[in-house]
Amino acid sequence: MLRHIAIIMDGNNRWAKRQGKKSITGHREGVERIRDVLGACRAEGVDVLTLFAFSSENWRRPPLEVEALMGLFYSYLKKEARKLSDEGVCLRVIGNRARFSKRLLNAIDEAETIAQGKEATLVIAADYGGCWDIANAAKKIAEDVQSQALNIDDINEQLFEQYVTTAGLPPLDLLIRTGGELRISNFLLWQAAYAELYFSDLLWPEFDGTALKLAIDDFHSRQRRYGKTGDQVEQEVPGA
């Protein structure tokens, strides 16, 4: 089953340049695609959609672009929280919030409080990095060991999973990157250990429900072996 999809939404700037417009126009168009793709995920029975909205490295971008991105994030939270709730979607924001303004932090808290649907989950990764996620989880485990809330012999992969930002969510099944680049750019490093990877040449503002369906069809055409042989997997399939 395909329960959890994550997307690296790449290509907003390049799309804007091709249109002869400012980069913020591409980012605004990219926000519109979130609605399309979320709807397509729900139509396909996907429980969780995780979006890479702003990486920990994106702070290196020009200050005006960063300010514009923060503004778009704020506007999205204020405008969409109630709609998400009405549609049965739970909103979850993951990442390091230390550099966000108080205004944005309040908007995140408010949106997460409002959007607590039970039918699907939208995860927005903002000021997120996979290395940060792993290091942060290790720090929390070390703190629990130091306080004697945890025994060092209890530490294993299953326990570590409870300390990363996606704790409690289904394992990541499919990781999509738009924009033609063939890398995952420090996104969900722990979670992507056995995820299927799919790379689309479409820029994010061009990626719609039809494009998502192609990615899902490709996913279903693959055999996920998890270290086993193909024959073993086929024998486990009912009716094989």
User: Would you say 28 and 65 are in contact if contact means Cβ atoms under 8 Å apart?
Assistant: no
Q: Return the H-helix or E-strand segment holding 50.
A: strand 48-55
Side-chain half-sphere CA neighbours of 63 within 13 A: 0
Query: Looking at 10, 127, 133, 173, which residue is catalytic?
Result: 10
Alpha-carbon distance of 208 to 221, in angstroms, equals 20
* Residue-wise DSSP of 132-157: HHHHHHHHHHHHHHHTTSS-GGG-SH
224: which DSSP letter? -
Alpha-carbon distance of 157 to 77, in angstroms, equals 33
How many other CB atoms sit within 10 Å of the CB of residue 177? 23
User: Which residues fall within 8 angstroms of residue 112, CB to CB, at 6 or more apart?
Assistant: 91, 92, 93
| Residue 10 designated active-site | yes
User: Would you say 14 and 20 are in contact if contact means Cβ atoms under 8 Å apart?
Assistant: no
Query: Looking at 58, 96, 136, 186, which residue is catalytic?
Result: 58
Catalytic residues, which ones? 10, 58
